């Protein structure tokens, strides 16, 4: 676990005075920018979206993710948003009958066990703190190419401008252009056989924690994200990727929800043309260890280890990446040595998340017993309690 964000004057960024170039203004990129700036380094974030928007419904926050947000210094901001609980989730039959309460313990005594937050709300918090930390943010801009000179990086941008940087941190997502630029032969995200559907709905009082509905042909869950709202997720087994018409997606979602009663049925009945249904194929990739960095450029977050949502850990391990990278840069005089130390610390943990998540999704497609699947999830979640 990173211990401190105190400035270390040995760090080459401080000696050189050149900024760090961060590609991508998502969760991982902003978390690293905040960490590095608080440690005293100049940081320049470039984000392709001129409006710095974020898409999606809610995200589930687990104990390890709360721990990472605390280390980043934003736990208070996170608690002010979203919905946070000190008990585990609830397992239900398709008709909504509760069958078991999951007895989870907090990873640290004063942290929530789990919770949820709207992705745009989390983005707003991180964007505000990124600006407040003094990070330079350029929107509507991408890096088209960069040259590694051994002691610095020269980058060119889509608007024709250029800049000199100490090194590059690429946090530009699962379909990373930086990954393609640095490692043209690297694997790309592969379809895992499922689509994930999400929709935001009003939260009834009885949904006071995450609820999981199992035993139907599809699996779904309800996650509170505020005092008034929750989001519903549903995993559909689909042999091959196909196009989904956004205008009629609510009709297909209603069909998928037909086996469910109780609060899920209420969500189904509320669906209509104005419902904001988010649907996407689930894809994953884990780059080989030797492709996480090259010279003075490194990939973090989904750019090197994009996962599926089965362990609710994608955002959490991106924040962990940011924290560990900032710490290793403080510990090492040499940038590539810091990158190697980061990779050595992170690879096995990120592999655990990606491979376990994909395996759980495969088990769902194979209709394994709930007991077997529960054991798979419990083993992975127990491993994630370890320090980063």
Residue 8: its pLDDT value, please? 36
Confirm whether 72 is domain-assigned: no
d(CA 216, CA 187): 34
Give yes or no for a contact between 314 and 250, defined as CB atoms under 8 angstroms apart: no
Query: Do 371 and 264 reside in the same domain of the chain?
Result: no
In a domain, 67, yes or no: no
Q: What is the pLDDT of residue 56?
A: 76
User: Residue 233 and residue 211: Cα distance in Å, rounded?
Assistant: 11
Domain-embedded: residue 77: no
| Sheet arrangement for strand 98-101 | 98-101, 90-92, 211-213, 219-224, 229-237, 190-202, 277-286, 306-306
Residues 123 and 101 in one domain: no
Cα gap 72→77, rounded to integer Å: 11
Q: Which residues of the chain have pLDDT under 50?
A: 1-16
- At 374 the pLDDT is 84
Does residue 144 contact residue 157 with C-beta atoms inside 8 Å?
yes
Distance separating alpha carbons of residues 68 and 27, to the nearest angstrom: 12
242 and 275, same domain (yes or no): yes
Confidence (pLDDT) at 42: 97
What per-residue confidence (pLDDT) applies to 14? 46
- Looking at the fold, whether 307 and 327 belong to one and the same domain comes out as yes
In a domain, 227, yes or no: yes
358 and 375, same domain (yes or no):
yes
Name the burial class of residue 386, with classes exposed (0-12), middle (13-18) and buried (19+) by CB atoms within 10 angstroms of its CB.
Answer: exposed
- The verdict on 361 and 242 lying in the same domain is no
- Both 125 and 183 in one domain: the answer is yes
pLDDT tens-digit series, residues 229-268: 999 999 999 999 999 998 999 999 999 999 999 999 999 9
Cα distance between residue 34 and residue 197, in whole Å = 32
Instruction: Mark which of 248, 283, 318 sits at the end of a domain.
Output: 283
Q: What CA–CA distance (Å, rounded) separates 354 from 12? A: 32
Q: Rounded to whole angstroms, how far apart are CA atoms 304 and 182?
A: 12
Range of the domain at 96: 83-116+191-283
pLDDT at 4: 35
Q: In this structure, are 53 and 138 located in the same domain?
A: yes
Cβ-count burial 192-221 (b if 16+ within 10 Å, e if not) = bbbbbbbbbbebeeebebbbbbbebebbbb
CA dihedral 387, 351, 334, 163 (to 10 degrees): -120
Contact 104, 98 (CB under 8 A): no
Task: Evaluate whether residue 52 is within a structural domain.
Answer: yes
Number of domains in the chain: 2
Residue 76 belongs to a domain:
no
Q: Is residue 7 part of a domain?
A: no
Do residues 379 and 241 both lie within one domain?
no
- Report the distance separating Cα 175 and Cα 191, nearest Å: 13
Residue 324 placed within a domain:
yes
Same-domain check for residues 144 and 171: yes
Instruction: Give the model's pLDDT for residue 199.
Output: 96
Domain end among 238, 261, 283 = 283
The CATH number of the domain holding residue 255 is: 3.30.9.30
The CATH number given to whatever domain includes residue 140 is 3.50.50.60
* Inter-residue contact 146 to 158 (CB < 8 Å): no
- Based on the domain organization, do 92 and 107 belong to the same domain? yes
Last residue within a domain, chosen from 255, 283, 311: 283
Do 100 and 165 lie in one domain? The reply is no
**What's residue 360's pLDDT?**
95
Instruction: Report the C-alpha gap between 251 and 107 in whole angstroms.
Output: 40
């Amino acid at each position: 676990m990173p211990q401190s964000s105190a400035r270390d004057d040995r760090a080459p960024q401080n000696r050189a005075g050149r900024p760090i170039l961060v590609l991508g203004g998502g969760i991982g990129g902003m978390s690293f920018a905040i960490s590095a700036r608080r440690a005293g380094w100049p940081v320049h974030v470039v984000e392709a979206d001129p409006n710095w928007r974020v898409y999606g419904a809610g995200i589930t926050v687990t104990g390890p993710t709360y721990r990472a947000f605390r280390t980043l210094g934003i736990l208070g901001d996170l608690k002010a948003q979203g919905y946070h609980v000190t008990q585990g989730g609830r397992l239900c039959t398709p008709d909504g009958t509760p069958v078991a309460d999951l007895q989870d313990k907090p990873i640290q005594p004063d942290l929530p066990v789990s919770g949820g937050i709207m992705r745009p709300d989390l983005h707003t918090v991180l964007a505000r703190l990124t600006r407040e930390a003094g990070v330079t943010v350029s929107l509507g801009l991408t890096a088209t190419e960069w040259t590694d000179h051994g002691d610095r990086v020269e980058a060119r941008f889509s608007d024709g401008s250029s800049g000199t940087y100490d090194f590059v941190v690429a946090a530009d997502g699962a379909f990373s252009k930086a990954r393609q630029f640095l490692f043209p032969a690297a694997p790309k995200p592969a379809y895992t056989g499922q689509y994930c559907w999400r929709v935001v709905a009003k939260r009834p009082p009885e949904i006071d924690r995450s609820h999981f509905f199992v035993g139907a042909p599809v699996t779904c869950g309800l996650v509170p994200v505020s005092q008034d709202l929750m989001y519903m997720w549903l995993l559909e087994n689909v042999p091959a990727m196909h196009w989904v018409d956004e205008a009629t997606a609510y009709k297909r979602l209603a069909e998928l929800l037909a086996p469910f009663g109780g609060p899920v049925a209420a969500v189904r009945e509320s669906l209509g043309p104005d419902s904001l249904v988010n649907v996407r194929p689930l894809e994953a990739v884990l780059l080989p260890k030797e492709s996480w960095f090259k010279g003075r450029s490194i990939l973090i977050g989904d750019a090197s280890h994009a996962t599926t949502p089965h362990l609710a850990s994608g955002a959490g391990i991106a924040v962990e990446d940011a924290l560990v990278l900032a710490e290793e840069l403080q510990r090492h005089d040499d940038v590539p040595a810091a990158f190697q130390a980061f990779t050595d610390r992170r690879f096995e943990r990120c592999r655990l998340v990606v491979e376990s998540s994909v395996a759980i999704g495969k088990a769902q497609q194979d209709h394994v017993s709930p007991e077997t699947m529960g054991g798979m999830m419990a083993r992975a979640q127990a491993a994630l309690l370890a320090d980063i």
